[in-house]
């Protein structure tokens, strides 16, 4: 279980540090317990998906996807998650690229929107290095 408290830095909603599984073909599921959230996911080639975490839904993080939770509400976002015990976590993959390609920000009408991350540096799939 995880509790992510609400908040923003500027217009950007608070998020977890995020990671890719060290054994990257290991998947994960997230089940939202309460709050309003988005699962922000990215492949190493920069493909991004943002999946709302809605009541009674399960978000599936497929193998090889970098993932982080974002609290887009005013209440704590509580999630339950399950993954294979040997998955491990690599947090540096996000740090090396200056974050995930997109940010989740306040849309000014009580919702959220996905915008390009100006600090993002393309991540080479061959070496894990950035350009
Ligand atoms: Fe994970």
* pLDDT exceeds cutoff 80 at 116: yes
| Residue carrying the six token digits 């988005």 | 38
State CA 12 to chain mean position distance.
13
Provide the pLDDT for residue 110.
Answer: 94
Which tens digit of pLDDT belongs to each residue from 40-75? 999 999 999 999 998 988 999 999 999 999 999 999
Q: Do 104 and 116 meet the contact criterion of CB atoms below 8 Å apart? A: no
Residue 17, pLDDT score = 96
Q: What's the pTM value of the predicted model, to 2 decimals? A: 0.92
CA of 109 to the centre of ligand 1 (A): 31
pLDDT in tens, 117-127: 999 998 765 45
Domains in the chain, please, with CATH? Answer: 2-116 (2.60.120.10)
**Distance from the CA of 82 to the center of ligand 1, in angstroms?**
8
CA 16 to chain centre: 7
């Amino acid at each position: 279980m995880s509790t992510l408290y609400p908040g923003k830095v500027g217009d950007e909603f608070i998020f977890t540090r995020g990671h890719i599984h060290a054994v990257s073909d290991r998947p994960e599921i997230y089940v939202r317990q309460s709050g309003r959230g988005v699962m922000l996911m990215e492949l190493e080639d920069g493909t991004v998906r943002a999946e709302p975490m809605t009541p009674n839904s399960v978000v599936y993080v497929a193998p090889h996807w970098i993932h982080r939770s974002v609290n887009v509400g005013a209440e704590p976002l509580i999630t339950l998650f399950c993954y294979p015990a040997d998955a491990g976590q690599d947090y540096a993959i996000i740090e090396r690229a200056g974050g995930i390609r997109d940010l989740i920000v306040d849309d000014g009408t009580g919702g959220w929107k996905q915008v390009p991350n100006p600090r993002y540096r393309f991540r080479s799939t061959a070496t894990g290095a950035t350009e």
